[in-house]
Structure 1
Amino acid sequence: MHRTNLTAATADESWGGLGPELAPATEPGLRPEVADGNRMVLVQGPDVVFSAEVDDDRCGVEYLRTDRYRSPVAPLRAAEARAVGGQGQPSWYARWAHRFAGALEASPIGPLHEGRWVLSRRLVEEGTPRTGDGPAGRWRSRLLDDHPDGYVDWFTGSWGVMPLRRMPPPDDGRVKSYRKQAREGVLPPVLLWWFSGLNCYVILDGHARLAAAVAEDLEPTVLTLSRAPSEERARAGTDRALSTYHLTMSVLDGPHPLTDRRAPAGAASRLLATQLHDVEVGHAPTRAWQMPAARRTGPGTPRA
């Protein structure tokens, strides 16, 4: 795996994300499979993790979890969490991003396949419910944790967060341990994966860490994994951002220049940096594979 540290959106940040790139012919141990235009399963090794069926009118998707999901990341020890230190700082996110990238590369049950990926702090909240109940209330509202089955309404639940196994209760032993780390300010981030087939994030690692943060009414720190935008899409986004910047600067330098152009010129530069960063860490569609015929009628497949 080749890794590239991505440019930050602002000058006062030292890290904007991690860009892992895998060689051709890398096959994932965790992968979506699709059939008939609206049937989907997430497979991990020989096991079906969940099955789903998209509405014919494309308004949402019904899903069923099987409780067979296994994290591709080995358990994170408290000593390791405390050794990283500096929670929330760019360097802290960078260290955890490299830690997760190494774990995913080594794991035979993770989602990485050939091509370019992004690990970043970007968490899109468009379309998710908004509440005024603090971090715990906001995250409870965006969690798609009906178990074992549920429904993602794409009008109200897009960009939500789906656990791949049952969320542990606040008094679970692991959650208690992580709650202590949360109070100490050393709780590692939750690792999410952007799954475009469901139009939401799924939790790759950190179910208990997320439960701990919610139990403490703290905003969970997250790192999101997604496929990197295609070169064509990145080039188009870059061209649009540069075009907007050049248009703004031409207005500032036009026949009626401002007396003091420093503030609007600075704002235009910051907007350009933000837009270029968003292009670099944007979420590309999740790749899916054709569902084998045997899986279409086997246990755990969607209802026909």
Structure 2
Amino acid sequence: MQRSNVTRNDGTWVGLSLDVHDQHQPGLCVFSAGPRPLISQTSRPVLLAVVEEQLGGVDFWRTDAYRSFVPPLRADVARALTGSLERWAHRFAQYLIDSPDSPLHEGRWLLSCESPLRRWRHPNTSHAEYWNSMLVDGHPDGYIDWFVHSGAWEVLPLRPMPDTDDSRVKAYRKQAREGTLPPVLLWWVSGLDCHLILDSHARLAAAIAESIEPPLLQLHRTVPRDDLAARVDEAVSFYEDELARFTELRAVHGPTVPDGAATAGPQLVRLLHDLNTAEQPTWSWPLPGGEDQWRRIAREVTAGHGCHFI
């Protein structure tokens, strides 16, 4: 696997690009049976969902089977990496690479500090209120509302959020007050149109309790390497065509017509940046056995709950 830093034109660090090879199916895997996704972690069902026919939202059933692949983070490590999401990204990337339980599979990924979740909070809304509103409620069952939260990309915990009196949350609250809180690791899943918490539910709970903006790293797929060169060529070709168009206009109307570089140049920069950072749809694998198998798994995980989820 290759990794490289992604920066803006001004040198600002955006994230870490991960180019994964020879990993055909991940340990934390999205399976699909028509409109019925299943997320499984090394054969353990983690989340079952049903997408509404009218695409208004998703009903889900969450098991308690999810296990984070990130080991407990020591306080001294957190202090050493304080303020550097770039260094945290390299550490988390290694956990993602080394663990058989991570969602990585072959292709290009971005581990980014620029989550869209940061853009939605109104200045008059506290961090605690905002992040509480972004959490999807419900355990073991719940609903992801695509109508009310269209484009907001909520946050779905993969296990129940811990209470404020939880010992881990108390320890992280202290780190939050000190400014040494490690980042929360999110995974954007396009089939659910929301972010899943890979690690750590307790750190997010601590940030909410202290009403601070949680440090975040977001994982998502980006343009595959075999498509990247062709798309770069398309962007450059568009830029060249724009300059040629302005050259023709200048030949007809004179030098008062700009040469086009002032508009085509920034557009090219944006296009090239998006090729390295834009979210691509999450891959899913056909569920062996299809919908019948999905229903069998649903019956097993909901047994004894009097659930009509199936």
Return the offset for 1:131.
8.0
Q: Kindly tell me: are residues 239 and 257 of structure 1, through their superposed partners in 2, closer, same or farther at Cα, counting changes over 3 Å?
A: farther
Q: Kindly tell me: are residues 178 and 103 of structure 1, through their superposed partners in 2, closer, same or farther at Cα, counting changes over 3 Å?
A: same
Deviations 1:99-134 (A, max 9, x none): 011001111211111222111123124997868322
CA contact (8 A) 1:63 1:149 kept: yes
Find the aligned partners of 1:249 and 1:169 in 2 and give their Cα distance. Answer: 62
Say which is worse superposed, 20-29 or 218-227, in terms of deviation.
Answer: 20-29
Q: Is 2:182 the partner of 1:188?
A: yes
Return the offset for 1:208.
0.8
Say which is worse superposed, 55-64 or 225-234, in terms of deviation.
Answer: 225-234
Find the aligned partners of 1:74 and 1:247 in 2 and give their Cα distance. Answer: 51
Q: Is 2:285 the partner of 1:289?
A: yes
Q: Is 2:38 the partner of 1:46?
A: no
TM-score normalised by L of structure 1? 0.84
Of residues 87, 91, 102, the one that matches 1:95 is 87
Q: Is 2:164 the partner of 1:170?
A: yes
CA contact (8 A) 1:132 1:138 kept: no
Unaligned runs of 5+ in 1: none
CA contact (8 A) 1:9 1:273 kept: no
Q: Kindly tell me: are residues 229 and 166 of structure 1, through their superposed partners in 2, closer, same or farther at Cα, counting changes over 3 Å?
A: same
Q: Give the alignment of 1:113-152 within 5 angstroms.
A: 113-125=105-117, 132-152=124-144
Q: Is 2:148 the partner of 1:156?
A: yes
Q: CA RMSD in A?
A: 3.0
Find the aligned partners of 1:204 and 1:110 in 2 and give their Cα distance. Answer: 9
State the SS of the aligned residue for 1:297.
helix
CA contact (8 A) 2:14 2:114 kept: no
Find the aligned partners of 1:56 and 1:281 in 2 and give their Cα distance. Answer: 31
CA contact (8 A) 1:130 1:141 kept: no
State the SS of the aligned residue for 1:165.
coil
Q: Kindly tell me: are residues 84 and 127 of structure 1, through their superposed partners in 2, closer, same or farther at Cα, counting changes over 3 Å?
A: closer
Find the aligned partners of 1:208 and 1:241 in 2 and give their Cα distance. Answer: 45
Larger Rg: 2
Find the aligned partners of 2:211 and 2:309 in 1 and give their Cα distance. Answer: 38
Q: Kindly tell me: are residues 211 and 271 of structure 1, through their superposed partners in 2, closer, same or farther at Cα, counting changes over 3 Å?
A: farther
Count of residue pairs brought into register by the alignment: 292
Structure 1 partner of 2:301: 300
Aligned structure 1 segments of 4 or more residues deviating by more than 6 angstroms: 126-129, 248-253
Structure 2 partner of 1:58: 55
Structure 1 partner of 2:17: 19
Find the aligned partners of 1:83 and 1:214 in 2 and give their Cα distance. Answer: 23
Unaligned runs of 5+ in 2: 303-307
Q: Kindly tell me: are residues 38 and 31 of structure 1, through their superposed partners in 2, closer, same or farther at Cα, counting changes over 3 Å?
A: same
State the SS of the aligned residue for 2:202.
helix
Percent identity reads 43
Q: Kindly tell me: are residues 131 and 150 of structure 1, through their superposed partners in 2, closer, same or farther at Cα, counting changes over 3 Å?
A: farther
Q: Give the alignment of 1:250-289 within 5 angstroms.
A: 254=250, 255=254, 257=256, 265=262, 272-289=268-285
Structure 1 partner of 2:29: 31
Structure 1 partner of 2:64: 67
CA contact (8 A) 2:60 2:142 kept: yes
Return the offset for 1:232.
3.8
Q: Kindly tell me: are residues 12 and 23 of structure 1, through their superposed partners in 2, closer, same or farther at Cα, counting changes over 3 Å?
A: closer
Of residues 167, 187, 203, the one that matches 2:197 is 203
CA contact (8 A) 1:145 1:167 kept: no
Find the aligned partners of 2:50 and 2:241 in 1 and give their Cα distance. Answer: 46
Q: Kindly tell me: are residues 10 and 296 of structure 1, through their superposed partners in 2, closer, same or farther at Cα, counting changes over 3 Å?
A: same
Q: Kindly tell me: are residues 244 and 96 of structure 1, through their superposed partners in 2, closer, same or farther at Cα, counting changes over 3 Å?
A: same
Deviations 1:109-162 (A, max 9, x none): 111112221111231249978683221111111111322211112122241111
State the SS of the aligned residue for 1:99.
helix
Return the offset for 1:238.
7.3
